[in-house]
Protein backbone atom coordinates (compact mmCIF):
# COMPACT_ATOMS: atom_id res chain seq x y z
CA UNK A 1 0.00 0.00 0.00
CA UNK A 2 1.20 3.53 -0.72
CA UNK A 3 -0.27 6.80 0.60
CA UNK A 4 0.01 9.73 -1.81
CA UNK A 5 -0.11 13.51 -1.14
CA UNK A 6 -3.45 15.20 -0.94
CA UNK A 7 -5.13 16.39 -4.08
CA UNK A 8 -6.74 19.28 -2.20
CA UNK A 9 -9.09 21.23 -4.38
CA UNK A 10 -8.92 19.96 -7.96
CA UNK A 11 -7.36 22.20 -10.54
CA UNK A 12 -9.60 24.82 -12.14
CA UNK A 13 -9.18 23.08 -15.48
CA UNK A 14 -10.54 19.77 -14.15
CA UNK A 15 -13.35 21.52 -12.30
CA UNK A 16 -14.28 23.43 -15.43
CA UNK A 17 -14.46 20.27 -17.52
CA UNK A 18 -16.61 18.56 -14.91
CA UNK A 19 -18.88 21.58 -14.58
CA UNK A 20 -19.61 21.66 -18.33
CA UNK A 21 -20.96 18.10 -18.11
CA UNK A 22 -18.50 16.82 -20.74
CA UNK A 23 -17.92 13.73 -18.61
CA UNK A 24 -21.00 11.95 -19.86
CA UNK A 25 -22.68 9.25 -17.80
CA UNK A 26 -22.48 5.76 -19.33
CA UNK A 27 -25.37 3.33 -19.40
CA UNK A 28 -25.29 0.65 -16.67
CA UNK A 29 -23.20 -2.38 -17.66
CA UNK A 30 -24.97 -5.65 -18.40
CA UNK A 31 -22.48 -7.52 -16.24
CA UNK A 32 -22.27 -7.54 -12.46
CA UNK A 33 -18.97 -6.51 -10.87
CA UNK A 34 -18.45 -5.39 -7.25
CA UNK A 35 -19.25 -3.11 -4.31
CA UNK A 36 -17.86 -2.22 -0.87
CA UNK A 37 -19.44 -4.37 1.83
CA UNK A 38 -19.76 -7.95 2.99
CA UNK A 39 -18.95 -10.06 6.04
CA UNK A 40 -15.24 -9.12 6.11
CA UNK A 41 -15.77 -5.36 5.67
CA UNK A 42 -16.05 -2.82 8.47
CA UNK A 43 -17.65 -0.37 6.04
CA UNK A 44 -20.50 -0.62 3.58
CA UNK A 45 -21.20 1.64 0.62
CA UNK A 46 -24.10 4.05 0.29
CA UNK A 47 -25.55 2.02 -2.60
CA UNK A 48 -25.35 -1.39 -0.89
CA UNK A 49 -26.47 -0.46 2.66
CA UNK A 50 -30.02 -1.60 3.42
CA UNK A 51 -30.25 1.14 6.08
CA UNK A 52 -30.60 3.54 3.14
CA UNK A 53 -34.14 2.43 2.32
CA UNK A 54 -34.85 5.22 -0.19
CA UNK A 55 -31.86 4.80 -2.52
CA UNK A 56 -33.75 3.83 -5.69
CA UNK A 57 -33.13 0.99 -8.15
CA UNK A 58 -29.43 0.83 -7.28
CA UNK A 59 -30.56 -1.21 -4.26
CA UNK A 60 -30.83 -4.15 -6.68
CA UNK A 61 -27.50 -3.51 -8.46
CA UNK A 62 -25.01 -1.88 -6.06
CA UNK A 63 -22.26 -3.69 -7.99
CA UNK A 64 -23.00 -1.83 -11.24
CA UNK A 65 -21.75 1.72 -10.53
CA UNK A 66 -19.41 1.75 -13.53
CA UNK A 67 -18.09 4.75 -15.48
CA UNK A 68 -14.99 5.72 -17.51
CA UNK A 69 -11.78 5.57 -15.47
CA UNK A 70 -9.17 8.28 -15.02
CA UNK A 71 -10.51 9.97 -11.88
CA UNK A 72 -9.95 12.77 -10.89
CA UNK A 73 -8.85 14.07 -14.33
CA UNK A 74 -11.62 11.99 -15.93
CA UNK A 75 -14.47 9.84 -14.71
CA UNK A 76 -17.90 11.00 -13.44
CA UNK A 77 -18.78 14.70 -13.47
CA UNK A 78 -18.86 16.80 -10.28
CA UNK A 79 -22.21 16.55 -8.54
CA UNK A 80 -22.65 13.05 -9.98
CA UNK A 81 -19.76 11.27 -8.31
CA UNK A 82 -21.90 9.06 -6.06
CA UNK A 83 -24.07 7.85 -8.96
CA UNK A 84 -21.04 7.19 -11.22
CA UNK A 85 -22.16 9.85 -13.68
CA UNK A 86 -25.93 9.81 -13.16
CA UNK A 87 -26.79 6.11 -13.07
CA UNK A 88 -30.00 4.80 -11.48
CA UNK A 89 -31.80 8.16 -11.57
CA UNK A 90 -29.08 10.11 -9.69
CA UNK A 91 -30.71 9.37 -6.31
CA UNK A 92 -27.28 8.59 -4.84
CA UNK A 93 -26.15 12.18 -5.58
CA UNK A 94 -28.61 13.69 -3.08
CA UNK A 95 -26.43 15.19 -0.36
CA UNK A 96 -27.11 16.62 3.10
CA UNK A 97 -25.91 16.10 6.66
CA UNK A 98 -28.79 13.72 7.40
CA UNK A 99 -29.64 12.12 4.01
CA UNK A 100 -27.59 8.92 4.36
CA UNK A 101 -26.87 6.35 7.09
CA UNK A 102 -23.27 6.51 8.31
CA UNK A 103 -20.64 3.91 9.29
CA UNK A 104 -19.40 4.80 12.77
CA UNK A 105 -15.57 4.65 12.90
CA UNK A 106 -12.64 6.06 14.86
CA UNK A 107 -9.49 7.68 13.58
CA UNK A 108 -6.91 5.02 12.72
CA UNK A 109 -7.05 1.74 10.78
CA UNK A 110 -10.31 0.51 9.31
CA UNK A 111 -10.88 -2.53 7.12
CA UNK A 112 -12.59 -2.23 3.71
CA UNK A 113 -13.63 -5.24 1.65
CA UNK A 114 -15.07 -5.47 -1.86
CA UNK A 115 -17.70 -8.09 -2.64
CA UNK A 116 -16.84 -9.06 -6.24
CA UNK A 117 -19.48 -10.66 -8.42
CA UNK A 118 -17.10 -10.53 -11.41
CA UNK A 119 -13.39 -10.30 -10.54
CA UNK A 120 -11.87 -8.22 -13.36
CA UNK A 121 -8.15 -7.79 -13.96
CA UNK A 122 -7.21 -4.81 -11.81
CA UNK A 123 -4.90 -1.85 -12.42
CA UNK A 124 -5.28 -0.29 -8.97
CA UNK A 125 -7.61 0.51 -6.06
CA UNK A 126 -7.72 4.09 -4.79
CA UNK A 127 -9.50 5.67 -1.85
CA UNK A 128 -10.23 9.40 -1.43
CA UNK A 129 -11.58 11.16 1.69
CA UNK A 130 -13.31 14.51 2.08
CA UNK A 131 -11.18 17.39 3.33
CA UNK A 132 -11.66 19.22 6.60
CA UNK A 133 -14.45 21.75 6.34
CA UNK A 134 -16.13 20.28 3.26
CA UNK A 135 -19.73 21.34 2.68
CA UNK A 136 -21.87 18.38 3.82
CA UNK A 137 -25.04 19.90 2.30
CA UNK A 138 -23.65 20.50 -1.21
CA UNK A 139 -23.31 17.92 -4.02
CA UNK A 140 -20.02 16.04 -3.77
CA UNK A 141 -17.29 17.25 -6.16
CA UNK A 142 -13.58 16.72 -6.78
CA UNK A 143 -12.63 19.77 -4.79
CA UNK A 144 -14.02 18.08 -1.66
CA UNK A 145 -11.64 15.11 -1.93
CA UNK A 146 -7.99 14.22 -1.32
CA UNK A 147 -6.20 10.95 -1.92
CA UNK A 148 -6.14 8.67 1.12
CA UNK A 149 -4.50 5.41 -0.15
CA UNK A 150 -3.60 3.45 -3.29
CA UNK A 151 -3.24 -0.32 -3.71
CA UNK A 152 -1.58 -1.73 -6.84
CA UNK A 153 -3.56 -4.43 -8.67
CA UNK A 154 -0.69 -5.43 -10.97
CA UNK A 155 -3.11 -6.33 -13.76
CA UNK A 156 -4.07 -9.57 -11.99
CA UNK A 157 -7.37 -11.13 -10.96
CA UNK A 158 -8.15 -10.02 -7.37
CA UNK A 159 -9.18 -12.39 -4.60
CA UNK A 160 -12.80 -12.73 -3.55
CA UNK A 161 -13.33 -10.80 -1.38
CA UNK A 162 -10.57 -8.19 -1.77
CA UNK A 163 -9.69 -6.50 1.56
CA UNK A 164 -7.70 -3.31 2.23
CA UNK A 165 -6.81 -1.53 5.47
CA UNK A 166 -7.19 2.25 5.40
CA UNK A 167 -6.06 4.74 8.03
CA UNK A 168 -8.58 7.44 8.90
CA UNK A 169 -6.60 10.66 9.58
CA UNK A 170 -6.63 11.82 13.19
CA UNK A 171 -7.68 15.35 12.14
CA UNK A 172 -11.04 14.10 10.80
CA UNK A 173 -14.12 14.16 13.01
CA UNK A 174 -17.83 13.98 12.33
CA UNK A 175 -19.42 13.34 8.95
CA UNK A 176 -17.05 12.52 6.07
CA UNK A 177 -17.16 10.59 2.81
CA UNK A 178 -14.70 7.99 1.49
CA UNK A 179 -14.77 7.73 -2.30
CA UNK A 180 -13.56 4.27 -3.45
CA UNK A 181 -12.33 3.80 -7.03
CA UNK A 182 -11.58 0.38 -8.56
CA UNK A 183 -9.66 0.87 -11.86
CA UNK A 184 -10.01 -2.07 -14.26
CA UNK A 185 -6.86 -3.06 -16.18
CA UNK A 186 -8.32 -4.46 -19.40
CA UNK A 187 -11.23 -2.04 -20.01
CA UNK A 188 -11.63 1.74 -20.13
CA UNK A 189 -13.88 1.74 -17.07
CA UNK A 190 -13.73 1.88 -13.28
CA UNK A 191 -16.20 1.27 -10.44
CA UNK A 192 -17.06 4.08 -8.02
CA UNK A 193 -18.44 3.59 -4.48
CA UNK A 194 -19.36 6.30 -1.97
CA UNK A 195 -18.99 5.41 1.74
CA UNK A 196 -20.52 7.67 4.41
CA UNK A 197 -18.67 7.63 7.77
CA UNK A 198 -19.07 9.29 11.17
CA UNK A 199 -15.60 9.70 12.70
CA UNK A 200 -15.66 9.64 16.47
CA UNK A 201 -12.09 10.31 17.67
CA UNK A 202 -10.15 8.31 20.19
CA UNK A 203 -7.94 5.91 18.28
CA UNK A 204 -8.35 2.73 16.33
CA UNK A 205 -11.41 0.67 16.98
CA UNK A 206 -10.63 -2.13 14.51
CA UNK A 207 -7.57 -4.39 14.44
CA UNK A 208 -6.53 -5.07 10.85
CA UNK A 209 -6.11 -8.74 9.95
CA UNK A 210 -2.57 -10.14 10.06
CA UNK A 211 -3.23 -12.33 7.03
CA UNK A 212 -5.61 -11.83 4.09
CA UNK A 213 -8.77 -13.95 4.08
CA UNK A 214 -8.41 -17.34 2.42
CA UNK A 215 -10.58 -17.66 -0.70
CA UNK A 216 -13.02 -20.58 -0.63
CA UNK A 217 -11.81 -23.83 -2.19
CA UNK A 218 -14.16 -24.98 -4.92
CA UNK A 219 -13.92 -28.75 -5.42
CA UNK A 220 -13.65 -29.92 -9.03
CA UNK A 221 -16.80 -31.23 -10.63
CA UNK A 222 -17.15 -35.01 -10.37
CA UNK A 223 -17.42 -36.56 -13.86
CA UNK A 224 -20.47 -38.75 -14.44
CA UNK A 225 -20.92 -41.91 -16.50
CA UNK A 226 -22.48 -41.54 -19.98
CA UNK A 227 -26.17 -42.14 -20.52
CA UNK A 228 -27.60 -45.53 -21.52
CA UNK A 229 -27.56 -46.28 -25.29
CA UNK A 230 -31.04 -46.31 -26.86
CA UNK A 231 -32.61 -47.21 -30.20
CA UNK A 232 -30.80 -50.55 -30.63
CA UNK A 233 -32.13 -52.32 -33.76
CA UNK A 234 -31.05 -54.70 -36.51
CA UNK A 235 -30.32 -53.03 -39.85
CA UNK A 236 -30.22 -56.46 -41.51
CA UNK A 237 -29.55 -60.11 -40.89
CA UNK A 238 -28.41 -63.23 -42.73
CA UNK A 239 -28.04 -66.86 -41.68
CA UNK A 240 -24.65 -66.01 -40.13
CA UNK A 241 -24.63 -62.28 -39.29
CA UNK A 242 -26.60 -59.45 -37.68
CA UNK A 243 -26.02 -55.77 -38.54
CA UNK A 244 -26.64 -53.69 -35.36
CA UNK A 245 -27.16 -49.93 -35.00
CA UNK A 246 -28.10 -47.64 -32.07
CA UNK A 247 -28.26 -43.96 -31.04
CA UNK A 248 -24.93 -42.39 -30.04
CA UNK A 249 -24.50 -41.23 -26.42
CA UNK A 250 -22.90 -37.91 -25.43
CA UNK A 251 -19.79 -38.46 -23.32
CA UNK A 252 -19.19 -42.05 -24.47
CA UNK A 253 -15.69 -42.74 -25.79
CA UNK A 254 -16.53 -46.24 -27.05
CA UNK A 255 -19.23 -48.92 -27.04
CA UNK A 256 -18.98 -52.58 -26.03
CA UNK A 257 -21.31 -55.00 -27.85
CA UNK A 258 -22.45 -57.94 -25.71
CA UNK A 259 -24.33 -61.06 -26.85
CA UNK A 260 -26.25 -63.85 -25.09
CA UNK A 261 -28.13 -66.94 -26.14
CA UNK A 262 -30.11 -67.29 -22.90
CA UNK A 263 -30.64 -63.64 -21.89
CA UNK A 264 -28.70 -64.17 -18.65
CA UNK A 265 -25.01 -64.64 -19.42
CA UNK A 266 -23.67 -61.94 -21.79
CA UNK A 267 -20.22 -61.94 -23.33
CA UNK A 268 -18.41 -59.21 -25.27
CA UNK A 269 -18.33 -59.78 -29.05
CA UNK A 270 -16.72 -56.50 -30.10
CA UNK A 271 -16.14 -52.80 -29.47
CA UNK A 272 -16.94 -49.75 -31.59
CA UNK A 273 -16.33 -46.02 -31.53
CA UNK A 274 -19.36 -45.34 -33.77
CA UNK A 275 -22.93 -46.53 -33.04
CA UNK A 276 -22.84 -49.54 -35.40
CA UNK A 277 -21.46 -53.11 -35.34
CA UNK A 278 -21.66 -56.16 -37.66
CA UNK A 279 -21.71 -59.42 -35.67
CA UNK A 280 -20.61 -62.39 -37.82
CA UNK A 281 -19.97 -66.12 -37.46
CA UNK A 282 -23.48 -66.87 -36.14
CA UNK A 283 -25.54 -70.05 -36.43
CA UNK A 284 -28.53 -70.12 -38.78
CA UNK A 285 -32.09 -70.02 -37.36
CA UNK A 286 -30.75 -69.12 -33.90
CA UNK A 287 -32.08 -66.52 -31.47
CA UNK A 288 -29.54 -64.10 -29.99
CA UNK A 289 -29.89 -61.29 -27.48
CA UNK A 290 -27.76 -58.14 -27.75
CA UNK A 291 -27.10 -55.16 -25.49
CA UNK A 292 -24.80 -52.12 -25.86
CA UNK A 293 -22.61 -50.73 -23.05
CA UNK A 294 -21.56 -47.05 -23.31
CA UNK A 295 -18.01 -46.60 -21.94
CA UNK A 296 -16.13 -43.50 -20.69
CA UNK A 297 -13.41 -42.74 -18.13
CA UNK A 298 -16.13 -41.94 -15.60
CA UNK A 299 -17.92 -45.29 -15.86
CA UNK A 300 -20.16 -47.54 -17.96
CA UNK A 301 -23.92 -47.64 -18.66
CA UNK A 302 -25.82 -50.54 -20.23
CA UNK A 303 -28.75 -50.16 -22.61
CA UNK A 304 -31.82 -52.35 -23.09
CA UNK A 305 -31.74 -55.84 -24.71
CA UNK A 306 -32.62 -56.56 -28.36
CA UNK A 307 -33.67 -60.07 -29.46
CA UNK A 308 -32.77 -61.13 -33.02
CA UNK A 309 -33.15 -64.48 -34.83
CA UNK A 310 -30.84 -65.26 -37.74
CA UNK A 311 -32.22 -66.40 -41.09
CA UNK A 312 -32.53 -70.05 -42.07
CA UNK A 313 -29.63 -71.58 -43.95
CA UNK A 314 -30.09 -71.39 -47.76
CA UNK A 315 -31.09 -74.63 -49.51
CA UNK A 316 -28.60 -76.26 -51.92
CA UNK A 317 -29.79 -76.61 -55.52
CA UNK A 318 -28.42 -79.80 -57.24
CA UNK A 319 -26.32 -79.16 -60.30
CA UNK A 320 -27.51 -80.40 -63.73
CA UNK A 321 -25.43 -81.81 -66.55
CA UNK A 322 -24.55 -79.26 -69.20
CA UNK A 323 -26.32 -79.64 -72.56
CA UNK A 324 -24.53 -81.47 -75.35
CA UNK A 325 -24.44 -78.34 -77.43
CA UNK A 326 -24.34 -74.81 -76.16
CA UNK A 327 -27.61 -72.96 -76.43
CA UNK A 328 -27.91 -70.11 -78.79
CA UNK A 329 -27.19 -66.94 -76.81
CA UNK A 330 -30.05 -64.56 -76.59
CA UNK A 331 -30.07 -60.95 -75.56
CA UNK A 332 -31.71 -60.59 -72.15
CA UNK A 333 -34.68 -58.27 -72.11
CA UNK A 334 -34.11 -54.76 -70.80
CA UNK A 335 -35.98 -54.38 -67.52
CA UNK A 336 -38.53 -51.59 -67.59
CA UNK A 337 -37.53 -48.37 -65.88
CA UNK A 338 -40.15 -47.30 -63.40
CA UNK A 339 -41.28 -43.70 -63.93
CA UNK A 340 -40.57 -41.28 -61.09
CA UNK A 341 -43.38 -40.61 -58.63
CA UNK A 342 -44.43 -36.98 -58.82
CA UNK A 343 -44.17 -35.00 -55.59
CA UNK A 344 -42.01 -37.54 -53.67
CA UNK A 345 -38.31 -36.85 -53.13
CA UNK A 346 -35.71 -39.45 -54.11
CA UNK A 347 -34.11 -41.38 -51.24
CA UNK A 348 -30.42 -40.65 -50.49
CA UNK A 349 -28.14 -43.13 -48.67
CA UNK A 350 -26.60 -40.20 -46.70
CA UNK A 351 -29.77 -38.33 -45.73
CA UNK A 352 -31.37 -37.54 -42.38
CA UNK A 353 -34.99 -38.68 -42.03
CA UNK A 354 -37.87 -38.20 -39.63
CA UNK A 355 -40.45 -40.84 -38.87
CA UNK A 356 -43.25 -40.60 -41.48
CA UNK A 357 -41.09 -39.10 -44.27
CA UNK A 358 -41.86 -40.37 -47.81
CA UNK A 359 -39.05 -41.14 -50.26
CA UNK A 360 -38.98 -43.01 -53.61
CA UNK A 361 -36.37 -45.48 -54.84
CA UNK A 362 -36.47 -47.53 -58.07
CA UNK A 363 -40.11 -46.54 -58.62
CA UNK A 364 -41.22 -47.65 -55.13
CA UNK A 365 -42.40 -45.21 -52.44
CA UNK A 366 -41.26 -45.89 -48.88
CA UNK A 367 -42.31 -44.38 -45.53
CA UNK A 368 -39.72 -43.90 -42.71
CA UNK A 369 -40.55 -46.21 -39.79
CA UNK A 370 -38.28 -44.32 -37.35
CA UNK A 371 -36.19 -41.15 -37.21
CA UNK A 372 -32.62 -41.91 -38.29
CA UNK A 373 -29.61 -40.83 -40.32
CA UNK A 374 -28.21 -42.90 -43.21
CA UNK A 375 -24.45 -43.49 -43.28
CA UNK A 376 -23.93 -44.30 -46.98
CA UNK A 377 -25.18 -47.94 -47.17
CA UNK A 378 -27.38 -48.26 -50.33
CA UNK A 379 -29.18 -51.29 -48.87
CA UNK A 380 -30.80 -49.39 -46.00
CA UNK A 381 -33.83 -48.40 -48.09
CA UNK A 382 -34.89 -52.06 -48.06
CA UNK A 383 -34.33 -52.51 -44.30
CA UNK A 384 -37.85 -53.02 -42.92
CA UNK A 385 -36.73 -51.68 -39.53
CA UNK A 386 -36.19 -48.28 -41.21
CA UNK A 387 -38.45 -48.11 -44.32
CA UNK A 388 -41.86 -49.62 -45.18
CA UNK A 389 -43.06 -49.81 -48.83
CA UNK A 390 -46.34 -47.99 -49.35
CA UNK A 391 -48.90 -47.81 -52.14
CA UNK A 392 -48.72 -44.50 -54.00
CA UNK A 393 -50.85 -43.36 -56.91
CA UNK A 394 -49.44 -41.25 -59.74
Residue 325 falls within a domain, yes or no? Answer: no
Model confidence at 27: pLDDT above 90: no
Same domain assignment for residues 51 and 107: yes
Separation of alpha carbons 339 and 363, rounded Å:
6
Q: Are residues 37 and 148 in the same domain?
A: yes
Q: What is the distance, to the nearest Å, from the Cα of residue 308 to the centroid of all Cα atoms in its chain? A: 44
- Is the per-residue pLDDT at 30 higher than 50? no
CATH classification of the domain holding 172 = 2.70.50.50
Which stretch of 13-27, 211-225, 232-246, 350-364 has the lowest confidence by average pLDDT?
Answer: 13-27
Both 296 and 357 in a single domain? no
305 and 357 in a single domain? The answer is: no
Domain CATH code at residue 295: 2.60.40.10
**332 within some domain:** no
User: Are 102 and 198 a contacting pair, CB within 8 Å?
Assistant: yes
Can you give the residue range of the structural domain that contains 68?
12-199
Answer yes or no: is 209 within a domain: no
Q: How many CA atoms lie within 13 A of 324 on its CB side?
A: 0
Give the separation between CA 167 and CA 360, rounded to whole angstroms: 85
Residue 246 and residue 372 in one domain: no
Contact between 302 and 293 (Cβ < 8 Å): yes
Mean pLDDT of 142-157: 95
Query: Which of 292, 309, 326 finishes a domain?
Result: 309
16 with 140, same domain: the answer is: yes
Assess whether 154 and 268 both reside in one domain: no
For the chain, the average pLDDT equals 83
Quick one: pLDDT at residue 230?
92
Contacts of 35 (CB under 8 A, 6+ apart): 45, 47, 48, 62, 63, 65, 114, 115, 191, 193
CA distance 181 to 35: 10
Cβ atoms of residues 344 and 365 within 8 Å: yes
Asked if residue 328 is part of any domain, the answer here is no
Higher pLDDT, 15 or 304: 304
**pLDDT at residue number 6:** 38
d(C-alpha 160, C-alpha 38), whole Å: 11
- Same structural domain for residues 46 and 160? yes
Q: Which of 260-269, 333-342, 363-372 is predicted least confidently? A: 333-342
Q: Decide if pLDDT at 127 tops 80.
A: yes
Locate all alpha helices (DSSP H) within 22-73, ordered by sequence. Answer: none
The per-residue pLDDT for range 376-394, each reduced to its tens digit, is: 888 888 888 888 998 654 4
Q: How many CA atoms lie within 13 A of 123 on its CB side?
A: 14
Bridge partners for 236 per DSSP: 243
Question: Does 208 fall in a domain?
Answer: no
Total domains present in the chain: 3
Q: Are residues 68 and 126 in the same domain?
A: yes
- Tell me whether residue 123 is in a domain: yes
Domain boundary among 199, 216, 247: 199
pLDDT for 38? 86
Percent of the chain residues past pLDDT 90, beyond the cut: 59
**What pLDDT is recorded for position 203?**
40
Answer yes or no: are the C-beta atoms of 268 and 255 closer than 8 Å: no
Does 161 sit behind a cis peptide bond, omega within 30 degrees of 0 on the bond before it? yes
pLDDT tens for 47-105 read: 999 999 899 999 999 999 999 999 999 999 999 999 999 999 889 999 999 999 999 99
Determine if the peptide bond prior to 72 is cis (ω within 30°): yes
Are 134 and 65 contained in the same domain?
yes
Asked if the structure places residue 88 within a domain, the reply is yes
Residues 303 and 357 in one domain: no
Predicted local distance difference test score (pLDDT) of residue 13: 31
* Residue at which a domain ends, from 147, 174, 199: 199
Mean per-residue pLDDT for 249-264?
Answer: 93
- Does the structure show a pLDDT above 70 at 374? yes
Model pLDDT for residues 296-353, shown as the tens digit of each residue: 999 999 999 999 999 998 887 666 656 566 556 666 555 555 567 788 999 998 889 9
Residue 154 and residue 241 share a domain: no
Three-state DSSP class for residue 107:
coil
Residue 340 placed within a domain: no
pLDDT, tens digit, 9 for 90 and up, residues 158-198: 988 899 999 999 999 999 999 999 999 988 999 999 999 99
Please spell the DSSP secondary structure of 301-340, one letter per residue.
Answer: EE---EEEEPPPPPPPPPP-PPPSSPPPP-PPPPPPPPPP
Amino acid sequence: MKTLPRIGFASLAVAAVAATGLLAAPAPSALAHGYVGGDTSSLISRAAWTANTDRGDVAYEPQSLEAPKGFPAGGPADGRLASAGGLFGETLDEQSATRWAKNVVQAGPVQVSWTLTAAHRTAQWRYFITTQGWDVDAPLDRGDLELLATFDGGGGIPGVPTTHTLTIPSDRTGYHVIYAVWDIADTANAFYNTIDIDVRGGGPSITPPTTPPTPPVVPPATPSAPGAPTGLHAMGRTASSVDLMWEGVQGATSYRVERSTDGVAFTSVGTATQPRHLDTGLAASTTYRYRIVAVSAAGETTGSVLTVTTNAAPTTTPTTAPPTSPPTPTTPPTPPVAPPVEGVAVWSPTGVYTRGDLRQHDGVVYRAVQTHRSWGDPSWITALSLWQPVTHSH
